[in-house]
Chains A and B, each alone.
Chain A
Amino acid sequence: MPISLTMPRLSDTMEVGTVIKWNVKAGDKVRSGDVLADIETDKATMEMQCFDDGTMAKIVVEAGRQVKVGTLIAMIAAKGEDPATITIPSGTAATGPVAPAAAPAATTEDADETGGRLRVSPVARRMAEDAGIDPRSIKGSGPGGRVIKRDVQAASTNVQSARTPIDTATPLALTRPQVVAMKPPTPTTPASPVAPLALGAPQGRVVALSNMRQTIARRLVESKQTIPHYQVTMRFAMDELVNQRTKLNDALAPYGVKLSVNDFLVRACALAMARNPYFNASFAGDHVVVHGEVNIGIAISLPEDRGGGLVVGVIQSADQKSLRQIAQESKYLADKARSKGLTIDEMNGATFTISNLGMYGVEHFTAIINPPNSAILACGAAVEQPVVRNHQIVAGWEMQATLSLDHRVIDGAMAAEYLRTLKELIEKPAMLLV
């Protein structure tokens, strides 16, 4: 068996070597211990020793060439073999010098700079989340305005003490109005109705979901799975409201303001909170957080080219805003949602949500509660239909609205009470003006 001589590793750090000088040539007899060649390594020039007895058959790598450690550099014929018949094994072409290994890209830890202005200690963040309190609504007493444990503890106690017994005799309390400067909105057209189905077989395809739609999907499932939903429906006589709306829109036309039915509903729902504070609340494990602000979320559907789905735009402190302000704001939110998209501030903080499919002609539907709200109002269309008034069958405008409720916070009697309040406000819409 011929013996292959490879470039030896003559130092622990050696990767390549160069034969400076061969001391033997093909045909020479060699013995174990003979110095066959001088090899230049990374550290010094060393002697390459022979470990076996035999005859040099072939020198594969001549002096002067640098090769990698392990490369075949010569062949020795063992005792009894004919050196002339030794062939170089295939696939052992000498390889060139090793390129230095590329240094691995240094991974740097992303500096955990959120850039946000909110500073909250980890435990305070967790406590706030458990209590259903937005940490941004808490004044932080720590350095740099950091919200810390005792700040959250204090905030939770404040919210708790806001729960007062229902007083049906006291008129709806109103505090100072808030003026919101809005740019004049441009008239909108309702979302175009869905195009009729094309004839022929539908095309199968895969539609990727945007992050928003995935988030919506997740939250809807979470809501349905964790909140014990139940529904309560009421019919509302809309005649007065429809009249009131027409009159007001006439008066507001020169100002470019147009009130929609939904705007009336937003204000009505907001005002009804004062007497029914548990509708403006959130379930928090071992307690209920009743919110001070009444922020009504309005469901806004997005066209396909904006990703489809729906967003909830929030009208902050809706109980403090006039119908005109609500109209302006909801239009602004709807337009913005369908064009640029809403900011986080514009989408956060709703304490109650209204979803209205009336413009599509839907009479009745039930909605899924938007957590952490405890209720959502699903409004159908105001439909002119036969109704009974003063024991007579006449044509009248009726609307069905269905509350979906979190039974952990609101029981049936409370729901009924709220709808009664709402009915009062909607059927005597002048109450919404004061």
Chain B
Amino acid sequence: MPIATLASDTSTHLLKSPNGIAPGKRPEIPAATLRAWLSQMSLIREFEVRCMQAYQDKKIGGFCHVYIGQEAVAVGCVAALEPRDPLVTAYRDHGHALARGMHPKHCMAEMFGKIGGCAKGKGGSMHMFDKANNLFGGHGIVGAQCPLGAGLAFATKYQDEVINSGKSDCVTLCFLGDGALNQGALHEAMNLAGLLDLPVIYVVENNGYSMGTAIERGTTMAHKITSKAVGYGIEGLEVNGMDVVDVYVAMKDLIDRCRATSRPAFVDMRTYRYKGHSMSDPRKYRGREEEERYEVEDPIGKLEKLVKDKNYATPAEIEAIYDGVKTLVRESIAWADASPVPSLDELYHDVYVEKWGPYTGTSLPQMLTEKP
């Protein structure tokens, strides 16, 4: 049963907090959990800021899409998942990788093109993979991850029910941007998911923009994108993505339901990115005052306020969290700097599993083979 949605604040496309849950019915999140979420979100924030700096210092090349402003989505969703549940996303993937548990040094090293990166430097910013934490990428082509998400859900269900003769007990989270709503791959995937009862939840990180195109210029029913899921017989949900508690509460309920019923779902996760689409985007398509309107919704600021209001941490403890995060990122950058570039042999490695011709087979990255 979908959570009833409140009308959006007309000055932004965001949803009001607490997102339709009646006051008093909002579950209490333990202090330690909120502090942990604050630490994770500020880690993602600091990491992404330093990524921007590193990109401008030419240490990161190619494309770089930062997650600044959307931290609550990754952290809240991952908190609602079990470790065994697969997660797949598009190219704005650093936040998901860190939230799932990748050490920032491997994430940064990957972007620096070093052997210590999660993909040995051969993937780059858009291809964060982490087998130990069930993170299946990191994909560059818009929408391509959507059939993959359906496939992951198919696979967990097949393993649970066909191979192990049990009951499907996994849910796959497949993240996409509002731009991907227009790709055929998503629609084919939703059709297949609805038809085959695949336990995959498509979480649209709806930040209102597809690069430079505002959503209403590219998508029909832009004001109510859940209608697209309804067309496939799939349950749709609208969630306030700027409040990590709202995200967690809504997603936990949905994930539990999908796990039990082995049915797909679709989430319109309203959020906002404070920076451009990528590093070369000057954001001319929106004004300064729009951005200022959204700055007050900063999810980290909101959580910090909540933690302070509930006395779950003193200002000094909060400062210590932030300092700890800054130190961790600084050390990760130093580690990534020191990691060597891949040797030229890596060119012909990991192309095929089999060794043949000039190809030298495959092996796991340092991230998975070294002791933490």
Is there any pair of Cβ atoms, one from A and one from B, under 8 angstroms apart in the complex?
yes
**Interface stretch among A39-47, A223-231, A414-422?**
A39-47
In the complex, whether B58 has a CB less than 8 A from a CB of chain A is yes
In the complex, whether A72 has a CB less than 8 A from a CB of chain B is no
> Given that A44-B282, A44-B284, A45-B282 are contacting pairs, would A12 and B53 also be in contact in the complex, using a CB cutoff of 8 Å?
no
Are the CB atoms of B56 and A8 closer together than 8 Å? Answer: yes
- CB-CB contacts of B32-57 with A at 8 A, as 1s and 0s? 00000000000000000110110111
In the complex, whether A119 has a CB less than 8 A from a CB of chain B is no
Are the CB atoms of B53 and A9 closer together than 8 Å? Answer: no
Shortest Cβ distance from residue B280 to the other chain A in the assembled complex, whole angstroms: 4
Are the CB atoms of A12 and B56 closer together than 8 Å? Answer: no
Are the CB atoms of A9 and B58 closer together than 8 Å? Answer: yes
Instruction: Give the chain A neighbours of B49 by CB distance below 8 A.
Output: 32, 51
A32-B49, A51-B49 given; 8 more Cβ-contact pairs under 8 Å: A8-B57, A9-B56, A9-B58, A10-B56, A12-B279, A12-B280, A44-B282, A45-B282
Residue among B53, B62, B279, B282 with max Cβ neighbours from chain A (10 Å):
B282
> Given that A51-B49, A70-B58 are contacting pairs, would A10 and B284 also be in contact in the complex, using a CB cutoff of 8 Å?
no
Instruction: Give the chain A neighbours of B57 by CB distance below 8 A.
Output: 6, 8-9, 70
In the complex, whether A11 has a CB less than 8 A from a CB of chain B is yes
Are the CB atoms of A43 and B63 closer together than 8 Å? Answer: no
- CB-CB contacts of A265-306 with B at 8 A, as 1s and 0s? 000000000000000000000000000000000000000000
What does DSSP make chain A's interface, helix, strand, loop or mixed? loop
Instruction: Give the chain A neighbours of B55 by CB distance below 8 A.
Output: 9
Are the CB atoms of A43 and B280 closer together than 8 Å? Answer: yes
Instruction: Give the chain B neighbours of A46 by CB distance below 8 A.
Output: 282
In the complex, whether B218 has a CB less than 8 A from a CB of chain A is no
In the complex, residue of chain B having the shortest beta-carbon distance to the beta carbon of A38: B282
Instruction: Give the chain A neighbours of B52 by CB distance below 8 A.
Output: 49, 51
In the complex, whether B61 has a CB less than 8 A from a CB of chain A is yes
In the complex, whether A128 has a CB less than 8 A from a CB of chain B is no
Give the size category of A's interface with B. 10 to 19
In the complex, whether A69 has a CB less than 8 A from a CB of chain B is yes
Quick one: which of A13, A14, A43, A51 contacts B53, CB cutoff 8 A?
A51
Chain A contacts to B: CB under 8 angstroms: 6, 8-14, 32, 43-47, 49, 51, 69-70
In the complex, residue of chain A having the shortest beta-carbon distance to the beta carbon of B61: A12
In the complex, residue of chain B having the shortest beta-carbon distance to the beta carbon of A14: B280
In the complex, residue of chain A having the shortest beta-carbon distance to the beta carbon of B295: A33
Give the complex CA separation of A11 and B63 in angstroms. Answer: 9
Chain B contacts to A: CB under 8 angstroms: 49-50, 52-53, 55-58, 61-63, 279-280, 282, 284
Are the CB atoms of A10 and B279 closer together than 8 Å? Answer: yes
Residue among B49, B58, B61 with max Cβ neighbours from chain A (10 Å):
B58
Instruction: Give the chain A neighbours of B282 by CB distance below 8 A.
Output: 43-47
Quick one: which of B53, B58, B63 contacts A69, CB cutoff 8 A?
B58
What does DSSP make chain B's interface, helix, strand, loop or mixed? loop
Instruction: Give the chain B neighbours of A47 by CB distance below 8 A.
Output: 282
Give the complex CA separation of A139 and B55 in angstroms. Answer: 70
In the complex, residue of chain B having the shortest beta-carbon distance to the beta carbon of A44: B282
Shortest Cβ distance from residue B192 to the other chain A in the assembled complex, whole angstroms: 36
Instruction: Give the chain A neighbours of B50 by CB distance below 8 A.
Output: 51
Sample (12) of A-B pairs whose CB atoms are under 8 Å apart: A6-B57, A8-B57, A9-B57, A10-B280, A12-B61, A44-B284, A46-B282, A47-B282, A49-B52, A51-B52, A69-B58, A70-B57
Instruction: Give the chain B neighbours of A9 by CB distance below 8 A.
Output: 55-58
Give the complex CA separation of A185 and B62 in angstroms. Answer: 79
Shortest Cβ distance from residue A317 to the other chain B in the assembled complex, whole angstroms: 57
Instruction: Give the chain A neighbours of B61 by CB distance below 8 A.
Output: 12
Instruction: Give the chain B neighbours of A51 by CB distance below 8 A.
Output: 49-50, 52-53
Give the complex CA separation of A360 and B30 in angstroms. Answer: 116
Give the complex CA separation of A32 and B52 in angstroms. Answer: 13
Are the CB atoms of B63 and A12 closer together than 8 Å? Answer: yes
Give the complex CA separation of A287 and B58 in angstroms. Answer: 70
Give the complex CA separation of A291 and B53 in angstroms. Answer: 82
Are the CB atoms of B58 and A11 closer together than 8 Å? Answer: no
Give the complex CA separation of A32 and B61 in angstroms. Answer: 23
Shortest Cβ distance from residue A17 to the other chain B in the assembled complex, whole angstroms: 10
Give the complex CA separation of A11 and B57 in angstroms. Answer: 11
Give the complex CA separation of A10 and B279 in angstroms. Answer: 6
Give the complex CA separation of A364 and B50 in angstroms. Answer: 91
Instruction: Give the chain B neighbours of A44 by CB distance below 8 A.
Output: 282, 284
Give the complex CA separation of A46 and B61 in angstroms. Answer: 18
Shortest Cβ distance from residue A12 to the other chain B in the assembled complex, whole angstroms: 6
Give the complex CA separation of A70 and B284 in angstroms. Answer: 25
Instruction: Give the chain A neighbours of B284 by CB distance below 8 A.
Output: 44
Give the complex CA separation of A14 and B281 in angstroms. Answer: 13
> Given that A69-B58, A70-B58 are contacting pairs, would A11 and B53 also be in contact in the complex, using a CB cutoff of 8 Å?
no
